[in-house]
Structure 1
Amino acid sequence: MKKLLKTTLLCAALAAGTVLAAPAIAQDSVNLPNLSYRTGPFASTGIPLMNGQRDYMMMLNERDGGMNGVTLGYEECETGYNTEKGVECYEKTKATGIVTQPWSTGITLQVLPKSNVDKIPVLAPGYGFSAMQDGKTFQWAFNPPASYWDGANMILQAISDGNLDSLKDKKIALLHLDHPYGKEPIPLFEQAAEKHGFTLLPIPVGLKEMQNQSAQWLQIRRERPDFVLMWGWGAMNAGAITEAVKTKYPMNQFVGIWWSGHDGDMKVSGEAAKGYRAISWSLPNSQAPAMQDIKKHIVDAGKSMIDQAGGEFDWVFYQRGVLISAMLAEGVKVAQEHFDAKVINAEQLRWGLENLKFDEARIAELGLEGMIPPFSTSCADHTGHSGAWMIEWDGTKFNKVSELLTADRAAIDPLVETAAKEYAAANAPWPINEECKM
């Protein structure tokens, strides 16, 4: 615990002034701020994700002199995953930043209405409001490569072996953080429960209950659900795994969203948690060329903030952070090429983010083979719907245990359409991009 506290405090101190230096050949720069959370009850998940993002950007600056000779100016503003602090960080960074990365569904929802006014892209990879998929309505918001409603649908496919009707008469508990993030999948699960005949049992976990979930697990023991699905974050994940082990809940019936599949959380229970699964749109591949370049230019050079002794380099979350920065860097590159400009502005980056093309060829060119499924964004689709895999804890690490799953658009798109219309109506006058075509 003392080591973790020391590491957390050190990371926070370093992050407060983190701006990535670049070789002298790069004369220009773009500012890509990140609303990080290296402190507080969610630090255990935030630290590896931020380290991965930071190290990828630093690697591009060190190896390539940035992007087309332009320094990628990664800078962190610490929020502690607190919505109020997140909004303060947004206001602080929007003057010079050409993007905002909220790193919280709560913060995302707060800055979303500001995006049309400030004209700054909101990049929330794999999180945020699922209806941001609708690029016509949410012109400045992006959540590639998959949304929470995508994830919820794919989890149901996984536990039903592809036949959701087989869940009829079963009881499914949703153990979720009592926060906008944890509530986000509920509409999708409620719709599926009504259509396919299973009982949904939402079980909220308050921010002060994350490390002591005895009441929630007493309810789980009493209700005896066929599956427990977890929408957890930070200290909640380790707390839930610990309680599941203690109560002897079958791990093969316990499944989490991608933010509940973190190596650091699982190591608390180790072998006892064997069989726990999570859906994941990313896979760790430490031998991928990009990862080896990060190791060479950043980690081995002593410029990374990772815990090398703890194996963080190989973790799902560290390498997912790498992929998130890869998406942003690609958005910069696409915009540079389209507008024939080196130093792009926020509006040009917005175009770049809605024209991402992570096909197999481009993933290979980036040196990210085996780490992310193909996806592409467009004017109308700001998510991309990459699909995801199930990963399973073997006692020491996560392994891929399924073929690539893809979300059922027929189940999700109508929900998106309704939610987007309701949001626009509630926040009228809300601009709609009628020129945006599918």
Structure 2
Amino acid sequence: MTRFTRLAAAAALGALMGTTAMAQELFTPNLAYRTGPFAATGIPLMNGQADYMTMLNNRDGGIGGVKVNFEECETGYSTEKGVECYEKTKGKAIVTQPWSTGITLQVLPKSNVDEIPILAPGYGFSPMADGTVFQWAFNTPSSYWDGASMILQYLEQNGGLDGKKIAFLHLDHPYGKEPIPYLEQQAEEKGFEMVPIPVGLKEMQNQSAQWLQIRRERPDYVVMWGWGAMNAGAITEAVKTKFPMENMIGVWWAGHDADLKIVGEEGAGYKSISWSFPNPDAPVLADIQKHVVDEGLTQSNAEEMKGVFYNRGLVISMILAEGIRTAQEHFEEPEVSAEQLRWGLENLNITEARLDELGMTGMVPPFATSCADHTGHSGGWMTEWDGEKFVKVSDHLMPDSESIRPLEEAKAAEYAEANAPWPVNEECSATN
């Protein structure tokens, strides 16, 4: 080999190595909302998510030896800004995390074109569970219809539903309207009356009109689909009007410690269904303390880190990390693509043993996904505010899949028809 060819070969190898080194990154942007009317709930969730990925980077060198770039793009929970963030980050992203049902619905049609998985843990459009239709969307580990089902199941077991009246207090937003089709179906089947009571975005902190209607209706239960400032406003009004707190149940986004601390002991008895739960003795928290907090790399604080939402943020990032790890192992490729990550998210198997290995025992029920099932339907627990914190007041509850699945399939088919031509995964069947 001549000196010239040796130099050329060395230069080519150096360029290749430099390109490879630069490319070794997993870009997983998060469409965060640390500002705006929902910031109080967004901040602890974003902090939990970010801290988990920072821990993996510092403790393990990333996932499979590849560092995670967990860049945030601030949306303020605005659908318009969320779509802008999606367009800005999609070029090199292997996943998008919309963090709003409204943003999710806007991004959903783009997923088939851009071929980037949408990860919306515990939120978004419930029919996304149907992986044959929504090939690129995941609302793992529980959908809103799962949540509604578990709430109704708990009420049925504790006083019954037949002949009862339920006031459905909900944010007048795609998120708040999401469970209505399932609740209407169940009201007809189970013999209870549902009274929808919407709360506009400008009414979240002043719900006097809604609670006047609740006093007139005299419902047996109030089921709340609230978010951000709406939760604190509703809980404060419930206490003020002396509504029995034990008869008020929220979805998992309406079970935020800080909202209940405003009323303290007067809020005792308020309940919230939840697919995650804090475990203060979980080894993962000790690792975060060592590799993130002690290194001055967190935006959180000791009080927040005890709460439901911070810990749920940890679980959410764990789901994404396990999807990446599953894809890496299957494709024997450390820097996975968006398409490979989709396969990983379709083949999650979060067992009790795996949760123990991750140091997250008891923080989320075990679940598995498949080609056909993009939710996993993990179930959850009914939790109750005891005046100081949320505690579990039920065994592990599972949603009624027999009542949910037909509605998922019908609404998924309806969506596909309305947005035709809509590609479906012909190779995927309900048995996969």
| Range into which the TM-score falls when normalised by the shorter chain | over 0.9
Per the normalisation by structure 2, the TM-score is 0.94
SS across alignment from 1:317: helix
Query: In structure 2, how many angstroms separate the alpha carbons of the residues matched to 1:251 and 1:335?
Result: 45
- The runs of 5 or more residues in structure 2 that have no matched partner are 1-20
1:126 aligns with 2:122: yes
Query: In structure 1, how many angstroms separate the alpha carbons of the residues matched to 2:424 and 2:327?
Result: 22
Q: Which residue of 2 aligns with 1:270?
A: 264
The answer to whether the 8 A contact 1:26-1:70 is kept is no
Q: For 2:111, which of 115, 130, 137 is the aligned residue?
A: 115
Q: Which moved more, 1:298-307 or 1:264-273?
A: 298-307
SS across alignment from 1:285: coil
Q: Which residue of 2 aligns with 1:176?
A: 170
What code does the residue aligned with 1:129 have? F
Identity %: 68
What are the Cα deviations for residues 55-101 of structure 1, in whole angstroms up to 9, with x where unaligned?
Answer: 00000001001011100110100000000000000000000111000
Per the normalisation by structure 1, the TM-score is 0.92
Query: In structure 2, how many angstroms separate the alpha carbons of the residues matched to 1:121 and 1:386?
Result: 20
SS across alignment from 2:365: coil
1:371 aligns with 2:363: yes
1:229 aligns with 2:223: yes
Q: For 1:143, which of 139, 147, 163 is the aligned residue?
A: 139
Task: Name the larger-Rg structure.
Answer: 2
SS across alignment from 1:115: helix
1:77 aligns with 2:90: no
1:325 aligns with 2:324: no
- The runs of 5 or more residues in structure 1 that have no matched partner are 1-24
- TM-fit CA distance, 1:300: 2.5
Q: Which residue of 1 aligns with 2:340?
A: 348
The answer to whether the 8 A contact 1:27-1:70 is kept is no
- TM-fit CA distance, 1:27: 8.0
Q: Which residue of 2 aligns with 1:427?
A: 419
Query: In structure 1, how many angstroms separate the alpha carbons of the residues matched to 2:22 and 2:223?
Result: 47
The answer to whether the 8 A contact 1:27-1:71 is kept is no
What are the Cα deviations for residues 110-161 of structure 1, in whole angstroms up to 9, with x where unaligned?
Answer: 0000000000000000000000000000000000101000000000011111
What code does the residue aligned with 2:330 have? H
Q: Which residue of 2 aligns with 1:37?
A: 33
- TM-fit CA distance, 1:307: 2.9
- TM-fit CA distance, 1:295: 1.3
The answer to whether the 8 A contact 1:26-1:65 is kept is no
Query: In structure 2, how many angstroms separate the alpha carbons of the residues matched to 1:168 and 1:398?
Result: 29
What code does the residue aligned with 1:400 have? K
Q: Which residue of 1 aligns with 2:294?
A: 300
What code does the residue aligned with 2:312 have? R
1:199 aligns with 2:216: no
The answer to whether the 8 A contact 1:141-1:382 is kept is yes
Q: For 1:260, which of 254, 266, 270 is the aligned residue?
A: 254
Give the root-mean-square deviation of aligned CA atoms: 1.2
1:219 aligns with 2:213: yes
SS across alignment from 2:189: helix
- TM-fit CA distance, 1:28: 1.8
Query: In structure 2, how many angstroms separate the alpha carbons of the residues matched to 1:162 and 1:226?
Result: 12
- TM-fit CA distance, 1:301: 2.3
Query: In structure 2, how many angstroms separate the alpha carbons of the residues matched to 1:307 and 1:197?
Result: 46
Q: For 2:354, which of 351, 362, 374 is the aligned residue?
A: 362
The answer to whether the 8 A contact 1:238-1:268 is kept is yes
Q: Which residue of 1 aligns with 2:383?
A: 391
